[in-house]
A = this chain, B = another copy of it.
């Protein structure tokens, strides 16, 4: 089969996700369902499911549970040639799924994980980026530890050096950044090499110091300060409750702010990974479509993610495109 295929590299921690069944709370559960996820690996999983050639760079502990993480990546069709087995723990996160007025809740348990100790010194970046078309990182990696901040910077610099297109999801999380650096110490240097960023106004303020209240103004200013940036995008989520959100997205392409259609999601199954599904959709879209199509593809991919349990977005390109066109939506397909 002749297929359009790009080579995409992603970098970031993969955690074992332990979810309570149904809508049980942590306090009452007797079982945890095992899944795996991480912002960047979720992007990788989407792109591999869409038949792209994807390799993920990360580290796991050298025991059976770490190896189960590798097994997950492989099952998703992700190249694990650049996954390392190292000292440290398996990063975990515990998830309980809210409903209506009760929020969903994540307890992270990633302290001292193998990934957090991984500075990438032994990574052969030339080999990683050989033949690569795109590199994707997020603001979580530099927020975890000094080691992973170093890892992220090495990767971004190498990708730039090998002329690989770079996307970064700024993804500012206040609870991280515990190792003595602030986002403003670290993020600007990373963004300085990046072509496509996902950032809302808060992200732009906290990580790049851009203090605009209008999104277009903020985008203009970000591009002025960081001239490599070609695209800035973000999703807009209105939460009417844990199980009911409204989702849309915007994409600044340097000339205009493209807006997507807005989707009502009244019976959300699992919203974790919704942003990563958008990111994957945007990368796919920017590789193969025009700007408006790319944005609509990204939002539709994200919307479909909300109907699927787990972090990963198991929807095909055809399914996303059907939703973009409004075809077969919610029918029983035989």
Chain B residue contacts of A244, Cβ below 8 A:
266-267, 330
A287 at the interface (CB under 8 A from B): no
Could you say which residues of chain B place their CB within 8 Å of the CB of A271? Answer: 332
- Contacting residues, chain B, for A74 (C-beta < 8 A): 74-77
A90 to B: closest C-beta gap in Å:
7
Q: How far is the CB of A187 from chain B (nearest CB, A)?
A: 19
A36 to chain B, nearest CB (A): 11
Known: A34-B29, A75-B72, A333-B105. A100 touches B266 (CB 8 A): yes
| A64 and B111 in contact, given A271-B332, A323-B101 (Cβ under 8 angstroms) | no
Interchain CB contact (< 8 A) of A101 among B34, B241, B329 = B329
Interface size on A, residues (CB 8 A): 82
| Number of copies of chain A assembled together | 6
Residue numbers in B under 8 Å from A288 (CB-CB) = none
Given contacts A267-B243, A334-B175, contact A309 B22 (CB under 8 A): yes
Question: A25-B308, A25-B314, A111-B112 are known contacts. Are A334 and B267 too (CB-CB below 8 A)?
Answer: no
* Contact call A106/B30, Cβ cutoff below 8 A: no
A28 in the interface, Cβ–Cβ < 8 Å? yes
Given A23-B309, A89-B111, CB of A100 within 8 Å of CB of B330 = yes
What are 8 of the A-B contact pairs (CB < 8 Å)? A23-B269, A27-B67, A28-B314, A64-B105, A74-B75, A101-B304, A239-B329, A244-B330
